[in-house]
Amino acid sequence: VPSGFMASADFVNHHCKTDAHYLYYLSMVKFISDNITRLLSETNVVCARYIYSTISYHDASRNTVKVDIDSLALVKPDFTFLLTVSEQERLRRLQSRPVKKKGDEQEKRAGSFLEKAERKLCSFPDIIKIPTDNKTPREIAITILGEAGLLPT
């Protein structure tokens, strides 16, 4: 969450319904997009979450607001990667974390929030899925760099 949004994010997260929450997060994505545009004149930019996750998480939460995303004129990423993991491996990794976050305990089963969000993420045509089971972070990074054409040949 960008620092200027921190004060209101807590309120929105705890007191707003899904539709208002979605609009708030879209405003944050627009703000981030404008900053990415500025930064791209100076450097490369890597974003861990962007518009697809915002749309997918809110669709999975039964958002009913329809927004013409193209009208936001967001900067388009060169690549969009979705790191996937089996449910068994996800739960194993969560168990090894020293600090747990809210929602970590959710299971990904048919019809669950996690399953619906992942299904929506996978529906975007330019998503590049990277399976991460049995891979180290270094191996995952090398896979991403290879998909982006950034590895020496």
109 band by pLDDT with thresholds 50, 70 and 90: confident
Give the pLDDT score at 20: 95
Contact 85, 135 (CB under 8 A): no
Quick: pLDDT tens for 8-43.
988 998 999 999 999 999 999 999 999 999 999 999
CA distance 90 to 23: 30
Q: Could you say which DSSP state residue 133 is in? A: T
Collapsing DSSP states into helix, strand and coil, what is residue 82? strand
C-alpha–C-alpha distance, residues 46 and 78, integer Å: 10
The whole-model pTM stands at: 0.86
